Amino acid sequence: MPPLQPSTITTVQLPPPTQPILASTLYQNLPTSAQSQNGRKRRRIGTGCAAVDGALDGGLDYGKGGGVTCLSGGLEEGRSLSLHFLVSHLLSSPNTTASIIDTTGSFLVGLQQVLLHRIRVEDSSSSRKRGQLNLDNGYHVEGQEASIEERATSILDKVEYTRVFDFVGLVEAVGEVREKLEASKRISGVTETKEVFDQPSAEMTKQPKVDIEAKKYPLEIPDSQGSEGNDEMLFDDADEMLFDGANERDSPTISRVEADKSVHGNQEQNTFAKQDTDDEGEARGMILVDNISQVIMPLIKSNHVQAHALFIPFLRSLTNLTTTHNVSTLLLNTVIPSTSRQTSSENNARFSPHLDKHPSIFANNTSIPALGRTFPHYVDLHLLLGSLPKDRRDMELFGRFGSVGGRTGGGRAGVKMVNVVEVLQDRYDGRMGRWAAFGVGGVRGEELIGVV
């Protein structure tokens, strides 16, 4: 038996431990929703007010990545700001459309005035650049006012208005909007496909091979209840349906497989071309609901469990509609003043805001959004609109009366109030906590907003 030899101990060099990666590091490396995949700035809907647009990084988003926005505030203030969002959307491109679902019956008041004012401002700024501004600030150039009104009328023709009275009507109105968007999408898809068929590819011209099998089978399934004569028409016109751009029936054809390859190849090229081109002429839509709490609050007061079961699927469907058809959805919501918080029922308390009892960053704005606890989880951007004193003197006078929440306190003992919009929640961008102050005034009876 051989003697035992002592075992040798070898040292193994272990690899260095893996350094942990913080979730914040991964989050910072992600591209923001304001940037597209190719690095270009995404289009957003502004208001025409530099302060508000600056706080929102340009405004509201379209489609996936922030397309559902809630604006909580008083009826008058919320409607004023939403009108400017709507007008900016309509003026951004000739292919834009808008669908207004009104539960109050008073949203259209002031829309034409705001639109006329914004058109005049654009015309005056363009005239100022060309050095053609007249003494009347460019508002009433000879022969220009009639063209402005005609342009406003043509823009208003792109707006669809629906008046609803309850939650069922709201669901039906959104369903009609979905059907119209899907129908227009199908029509545009048929048009693009026909353009591809009308333009023969290079493979069709280089390989003039005749395939008899392509003539034997129709491209459509005939109706079982149709006449027998229609079958012959389908067999005879199979080549014409496949090659609409052919000038002669006896021209060389290719097999159906090669035709499908060429068609799909052209469609892919067109898709990539559309992604590379600018989207200024792209058709975009906007859905505006005024006011969503008008139809859901009666259900919450009667049975909040049933209201929750109806409201949440509706919000999910609305989000799907927004992302699928690349539209911007703006939901107007009311606020609950601080004076009514003590007298609110338990049902309303269950729908208190998801943030704090005092969501505003300003101590004087004690109002809270309605439909709060569950509702904000289904929107991408949540804005709170309130009224605050303008300066220190107004703050001192305002303190004698107490806070008024989202209600306007102007005119009380000479207190000057300004409107303040702040971001309560932002799902995709880092705009939470931003705010901007603006004033609502009138020029020749036209409502406008501006920096205070």
pLDDT of 376? 84
User: 347 and 341 in contact (C-beta within 8 Å)?
Assistant: no
Give the model confidence (pLDDT) of 337-372 as tens digits: 765 444 444 444 444 444 457 788 888 788 888 886
Distance in angstroms (rounded) separating the CA atoms of residues 68 and 66: 6
pLDDT digits (tens, 9 = 90+) for 283-311: 789 999 998 999 999 999 899 889 989 99
Condensed to tens digits (0 to 9), the pLDDT of residues 368-405 reads 888 867 788 889 999 999 888 887 777 777 776 654 44
Other CB atoms within 10 A of residue 226 CB? 11
Band the pLDDT of 165: cuts 50, 70, 90: very high
Give the pairing of strands 327-333 and 285-290.
parallel
* Rounded-to-integer distance, Cα 278 and Cα 207, Å: 35
Q: What is the pLDDT of residues 45-75, one digit of tens each?
A: 998 888 899 999 999 999 888 899 999 988 8
The Cα–Cα gap between 48 and 447 comes to: 12
Q: Do 47 and 81 touch, CB atoms closer than 8 A? A: yes
**Alpha carbon 14 to chain centroid, angstroms:** 54
Q: Which residue has the higher pLDDT, 264 or 376?
A: 376
Confidence of residue 6 (pLDDT cuts 50, 70, 90): low
The pLDDT of residue 163 is 94
pLDDT greater at residue 452 or residue 296: 296
Q: Are strands 417-426 and 381-389 parallel, antiparallel or unpaired?
A: antiparallel
Beta carbons within 8 Å of 325's beta carbon, 6+ residues apart: 63, 178, 181, 182, 185, 285
Domains (range + CATH), the chain = 47-171+285-451 (3.40.50.300), 199-219+231-275 (no CATH)
- What is the predicted pLDDT for the residue at 160? 93
pLDDT for residue 194? 54
pLDDT tens, position by position, 78-106: 888 999 999 999 998 888 999 999 998 88
Q: 226 falls in which pLDDT band (50, 70, 90)? A: very low
Least confident range of 66-75, 162-171, 250-259, 371-380? 250-259
Tell me which residue of 353, 355, 317, 320 sits closest to 335, measured CA to CA: 353
- Closest by CA position to 383, among listed 349, 326, 418, 434: 434
Q: Tokens 């609409």 identify what position?
A: 244
pLDDT at 443 over 80: no
Determine the Cα–Cα distance for residues 331 and 82; give it in Å rounded to an integer. Answer: 9
Q: How confident is the model at residue 112 (pLDDT cuts 50, 70, 90)?
A: confident
